[in-house]
Chain A
Amino acid sequence: MIGAAHETGFRVAEFTGTVSSNDAEFINDFHRLFYQRAEPVARPDASYRVFVDRRFSLEKRHSVAAGADQDEIVVITAFYPSILAALEHHICRRIVATLSSHCLLEASFLSCDGRGLLIAGDRELPTGRLLQVLVERGCGYFGHGLAILDRQTRRVIPFPKSISIRRPAHPVTDFRRQEITFRNRERVVMRHIPPPPAARREGDEQRRVDSIVFLRPADGREPMVSPVGKADALERLVAHGLGGPASAAADFSLLADIAGRSSACEVHVGGIAATSRLILELARGTEAGRLAASCEEGGNE
């Protein structure tokens, strides 16, 4: 049985969760990941118990297991950054399953000079690093990886989770075999960027989707952009939807409204700095951004 000395609550829109742990530092790190705190409630939508063992051992294991009533993660590990990634993934899945009254998209949302910018892209793309640079350049941050849209107001609800950046895991040397081998060479872990200052997160910033950027991999270092028609944008937005069949028609209607009133383009991600500059120009509707978006073949020169 885990001796959970510390307990805390977190909230994402109407979704509430509770995390308990024997390790105060873990709880602090968790709150840098899901930073909107809430008082622990009697019946949270999800609860997790995390046991952190800081003694070094080669027998580290962690698992995500469903409990009898609530989901729980039972963890025995000294390297809990990887557990935070597992916890993040699990909580996001629970949010998608729970927040059925909202339209949920696999996308990120920023505000740029008062204009809302929805960014959708493949999971393998470096969206975290891109978002980090955009926030550093002054964009307001509303969430990474999950865009929560209110069906009534047609606006984005902040997703209070830090930016997560994928990076390769350190290879683990397996000393137990006669020969030294490396396990999990291809694994990736998450690095969680502390949340931006509150002034860049919520408040009076624009929460209406004005621009949509669909990210795609690029062959070279130079980012490229091509326009996306409204029907195409709608089709792509639907493909990024996370809702179930019950809400599919309502989500389609909302996404059609968004696609109909927003400008959309596809950005082939090159270098992070150059790509972020290009996205800023597109979001701000500068002459350079308009010129880039109007190029059929996407040249940025």
Chain B
Amino acid sequence: MTNPRLQEGVECRQLDAELVVFAAASARTYRLSETAALILLFCDGEHSEEEILTEIQGLVRGGDPQTVAADVRRTLEDFRAQQLIA
């Protein structure tokens, strides 16, 4: 399985504390939570899904590791469903 990476035409812009993502293919904008933004920023083609999971678990402290893992996987699935990542 290839490492997650942003789809072509997906633009990100941080404004204040929020990440706004624009998908040219669907002409839709998304405003991501802080954690979702972190996950997306790791989708650079350099990190595997497991590596992203490890990174996020290291950044999110105090959370149940299994819950964090489930959240990260679900978020990545959402990104794929919205065609933000390949």
Residues of A within 8 A of B (CB): 229-232, 234-235, 238-239, 245, 248-249, 252-253, 256, 259-260
Chain B residues lying within 8 Å of A245, measured Cβ to Cβ, are 24-25, 27
Q: How far is the CB of A36 from chain B (nearest CB, A)?
A: 31
State A249–B16 Cα separation when bound (angstroms): 20
Q: Which residue of A lies closest to B27 (CB)?
A: A248
With A231-B31, A235-B29, A235-B31 in contact, is A248–B15 under 8 Å at CB? no
Residues of B within 8 A of A (CB): 9, 11, 13, 15-16, 18-20, 22, 24-25, 27, 29, 31
What distance in Å separates the Cβ of B14 from its nearest Cβ neighbour in chain A? 9
Q: Tell whether, in the assembled complex, residue A256 and residue B20 are in contact, meaning their CB atoms are under 8 Å apart.
A: yes
Given contacts A252-B13, A260-B15, contact A234 B24 (CB under 8 A): no
Nearest-Cβ distance from residue B8 to partner chain A, whole angstroms: 9
Q: Is the CB of A238 within 8 A of B29?
A: yes
Q: A249-B22, A252-B22, A256-B20 are in contact. Are A230 and B27 (CB under 8 A)?
A: no
Residues of A within 8 A of B9 (CB): 248-249
B27 in contact with A234 (CB, 8 Å): no
**Roughly how many angstroms separate A249 CA and B9 CA in the complex, as a whole number?**
7
Known: A231-B31, A235-B29. A256 touches B15 (CB 8 A): yes
Sampled A-B contacts (14; CB under 8 Å): A229-B16, A231-B15, A234-B15, A235-B31, A238-B22, A239-B29, A245-B24, A245-B27, A248-B22, A249-B24, A252-B29, A253-B13, A256-B13, A260-B15
Q: Which residues of B contact A234 (CB under 8 A)?
A: 13, 15, 20, 29
The residue in chain A whose Cβ has the minimal distance to the Cβ of B24 is A248
Q: Considering the chains assembled together, what is the distance between the CA atoms of A23 and B16 in angstroms?
A: 56
Tell me whether A249 and B18 are in contact in the complex, defined as CB-CB below 8 angstroms, given that A231-B31, A234-B29, A235-B29 are known contacts. Answer: no
- Which residues of the partner chain B approach A248 to less than 8 Å between Cβ atoms? 9, 22, 24, 27
Cross-chain contact A259 with B15 (CB below 8 angstroms): yes
Partner among A230, A235, A252, A253 whose Cβ is within 8 Å of the Cβ of B16: A230
Q: What CA separation (Å) do A61 and B24 show in the bound complex?
A: 41
Q: How near does chain B come to A106, taking the closest CB pair, in angstroms? A: 14
Residue of B nearest to A243 (CB): B27
A253 surroundings in chain B (CB, below 8 A):
11, 13
